Amino acid sequence: MNNDKNMEFIMKYQTYLLSEKHLSDNSIFSYCEDIMLFLKYINKDVTSITKENIYNYLAYLDKEKYSVYSVARKISSLKSFYIFLNKHYQMKNIIDDIEMPKYYKKLPTILTIEEIDKLLNVNLVSAYDYRNKAMLELMYATGLRVSELVNLDINSVNLEKKFVRCIGKGSKERIVPIGDVACNYLNIYLNEYRDKLTKNRLCESLFLNNHGKGISRHGFNYIIQNILKEKGIKTKITPHSLRHTFATTLLNNGADLRTIQELLGHSDVVTTRIYTHTANNKLKEDYIKYNTRKEE
């Protein structure tokens, strides 16, 4: 196998995902990781791979007990790769007619009202406590992805008009309204405590870590896990659980699925339909009314 040639294809594919598909760094990494695993197993030059090779690879994944979700993702990555090869190098798309495995999406973890109250009831003593409170309230109030939350800068939030501007998947910008409670704690954090976390650094990130730099996904998850432990919440909760809870709360209170799709930044309403296991009511009023948390 000509490894150099294959790596050249991989590098150009990375550029394609970034410049034409506008995917995030994490998505690009996942796609390329899947493709490299495939090429390592096939051990052939890209230009000489056959459909039989692909079927053998899928049989290998089955033999190695890869989950149906993982196999589906790998097939999706290969389909994207061959679309790129066909478009830019006129290679035959030998995977186009290979079907995705059928599977049922695992329902997201949803927090109960009691768990939400415990999680958001942060003991406010230090500047870090006020930062944590503002982050959690904002995430619960808007349903932002963790990556979107940690990438916010100080100009992303408009407290006067009560909205946040974020950049989602595919570098798509969207504006999401913020409820009164989140606005209140963001205002306190920004005006009274954020400067205490800067460590004399110039940083535009909205939420800062203990080094005066923008907080990371790992850092945010670490904060949540510590709060869960402190509050005695034993449910397996991830930062994404707040996003799921946000969507389910709106749906349970009658919000339209298309409205939730827009707020979450889903490109396809099919993705949003996973939340319909909790309710199927028609739209009553807009987002602000559905946010059940009131000013304290």
In this model, does residue 140 exceed pLDDT 60?
Answer: yes
Residue 121: per-residue pLDDT: 93
Q: Is the pLDDT of residue 281 over 70?
A: no
Predicted confidence at residue 253, as pLDDT, reads 78
DSSP 8-state assignment for residue 237: -
Helix (H) or strand (E) run with residue 206 in it: none
Asked whether the predicted pLDDT for residue 288 surpasses 70, the reply is no
Q: How far apart are CA 87 and CA 81, in angstroms?
A: 10
Least confident window among 58-62, 179-183, 232-236: 232-236
User: What's residue 82's pLDDT?
Assistant: 93
The CB-side HSE value for 45 (13 A sphere, CA atoms) comes to 7
167 bridge partner residues: 173
Give the tens place of pLDDT for each residue, 92-102. Answer: 998 888 877 76
Mean predicted confidence (pLDDT) in 162-179: 90
Is the pLDDT reported for residue 270 higher than 80?
Answer: no
Give me the DSSP letters along 14-63.
HHHHHHTS---HHHHHHHHHHHHHHHHHH-S-GGG--HHHHHHHHHHHHH
**Taking Cα atoms as reference points, which of 279, 274, 214 lies closest to residue 240?**
274
The pLDDT tens digits of the residues spanning 144-156 come to: 999 999 999 999 9
Active-site positions?
A: 145, 169, 240, 243, 266, 275
pLDDT at position 282 over 60: no
Average pLDDT of the chain is 85
- Average of per-residue pLDDT across 280-290: 40
The band of 171, judged by pLDDT with boundaries at 50, 70 and 90, is confident
